[in-house]
Amino acid sequence: MPTILIIGAGLSGLTAARELTRQGHTVTLLDKGRGIGGRLATRRLGNGRADHGAQYFSAQSPEFHALTQEMSQAGVVHEWHLEQSDPAGFRHPRWVGSEGMNSIAKYLAQGLDVQTECTVTRIAPAKTGWTLTTTEQDNTRIFSADVLLITVPAPQALALCDASGLALAEADKAALEAIHYAPCLAVMLQLNGPSQLPEPGGLKQTDGDDQHSPVAWLADNAQKGISPNQTTVTLHASHAFSQAHLDDPDQQALIPLLTADVTHYIPADSIVDRQIHRWRYSNAIKRHPTPFLSAQAHAPLLFGGDGFGNGNVEGAFLSGLAMGKRVQGLKSKV
Ligand SMILES: Cc1cc2nc3c(=O)[nH]c(=O)nc-3n(C[C@H](O)[C@H](O)[C@H](O)COP(=O)(O)OP(=O)(O)OC[C@H]3O[C@@H](n4cnc5c(N)ncnc54)[C@H](O)[C@@H]3O)c2cc1C
């Protein structure tokens, strides 16, 4: 049975690894992060938690619905009733990780071989597959496998291929270049009391491109049910604000520009701690039409993630699942 390496232990990579492990393959996931989950990101703030990447997800496909039900029964996710405040905006159920969105990644990673703090810096063709070089500080490691799945955002995948001197076929390169992501600046606030956000604690302020407010989204993580002992609030800057300030050298200086706009929800004197995170790649706004790309190469090489297919959390899951099933179909050819 072919061995598999997966670059990226976000939802897409974890889902592919689960599917391939279930089929009996030997799978290793490599991720540059200190933890797993990628944009399923939850941070500790005082005695509380704040999700600063994905805020919630929907599960409309039968496959993701089944996993969501399994995770709900295991206490890993719960429903967030956003339709209470915006029935038109939230027509179907929205779900969240019960201890933050990262708990979904932790649940899925159980039993998998995940190597963290492993930045893949080079991809090289090997006789029967691929050899990857990972670098962390002074530590260089080599991994080899028959099949390679790349689940990092497409611009990062292209940069990695480029840095490796790996020439992709023109059509594959063009397909990856056509995928685009919006940036997002995320602020996490620890409060000394409740916020003034109305129930259920999640509020879209703009459609993302509207310039009238620099804050597009607010979430009270206590009301959301992921931070019971401490109120924390997540703010996402609008697309326009994030784009304009993405490369500002002093990111901390952006926090007051954002909080000043929402003092009616978050009184300035209630903020006791604040952090900002820059997402250069948040949501995939231009995506490849199919759930993954099978590249023309001497050995199986698949590109996937939320830039392929439906996008968002559910699209990342479906991409990972589709890649897992495709590798099963490759068995006889490797
Ligand atoms: C601010 C924000 C808000 C969002 N809101 C929502 C939402 O409310 N609902 C929703 O459905 N979706 C939302 N999304 C999108 C959602 O988070 C993503 O679609 C999904 O999590 C992507 O999963 P993925 O596995 O494709 O990619 P990722 O989660 O990005 O995983 C890729 C992994 O690759 C790793 N990596 C990158 N380069 C390397 C390398 N060279 N070597 C090793 N590892 C590497 C990264 O560390 C990362 O863990 C949001 C995203 C952001 C950032």
CA 146/CA 149 separation, integer angstroms: 10
Answer whether 328 contacts ligand 1 (Cβ < 6 A): no
CA neighbours closer than 13 Å in the CB half-sphere of residue 289: 0
Answer whether 318 contacts ligand 1 (Cβ < 6 A): no
| Sheet strands (E) in the chain | 4-7, 27-30, 42-45, 48-51, 77-80, 94-97, 113-115, 119-125, 130-136, 139-145, 147-150, 180-181, 184-191, 202-204, 215-220, 232-237, 271-279, 284-286, 292-294, 301-304
Ligand 1, atom 27: closest residue by C-alpha: 10
Alpha helix stretches (DSSP H) within the chain: 11-22, 62-73, 102-108, 154-164, 170-177, 239-245, 255-259, 312-330
Residues 6+ apart with CB under 8 A from 326: 292, 294, 302
Helix (H) or strand (E) holding 283: none
What is the set of domains in the chain, with CATH numbers? 4-34+116-179+289-333 (3.50.50.60), 43-101+183-282 (3.90.660.10)
Atom of ligand 1 nearest to the CA of 312: 19
Beta bridge partners of residue 274, listed in sequence order: 189
Neighbours of 66 (CB within 10 A): 11
Ligand 1, atom 20: closest residue by C-alpha: 313
Helix (H) or strand (E) holding 36: none
Ligand 1, atom 48: closest residue by C-alpha: 38
Find the 192 Cα to ligand 1 centroid distance in Å: 30
- Looking at residue 334, its pLDDT comes to 52
- pLDDT tens string, the chain, 334 residues long: the values are 899 999 999 999 999 999 999 999 999 999 999 999 999 999 999 999 999 999 999 999 999 999 999 999 999 999 999 998 888 888 889 999 999 999 999 999 999 999 999 999 999 999 999 999 999 888 999 999 999 999 999 999 999 999 999 999 999 999 999 999 999 999 999 999 999 999 999 999 865 444 579 999 999 999 999 999 999 999 999 999 999 999 999 999 999 999 999 999 999 999 999 999 999 999 999 999 999 999 999 999 999 999 999 999 999 999 999 999 999 877 545 5
- Phi, psi angles (nearest 5°) of residue 314: -65, -40
- Looking at residue 208, its pLDDT comes to 45
Find the 152 Cα to ligand 1 centroid distance in Å: 8
What is the DSSP track for 115-131? E-S-EEEEEEE-SSSEE
- Looking at residue 209, its pLDDT comes to 47
CA 78/CA 206 separation, integer angstroms: 26
Atom of ligand 1 nearest to the CA of 314: 11
What single letter denotes the amino acid at residue 43?
Answer: R
- Looking at residue 90, its pLDDT comes to 86
- Looking at residue 91, its pLDDT comes to 86
Answer whether 179 contacts ligand 1 (Cβ < 6 A): no
Atom of ligand 1 nearest to the CA of 55: 8
Atom of ligand 1 nearest to the CA of 57: 11
Ligand 1, atom 53: closest residue by C-alpha: 282
Residue to mutate, 19, 67, 283, 287, ligand 1, most ligand atoms under 8 Å from C-beta: 283
Chain-centroid distance, C-alpha 60: 18
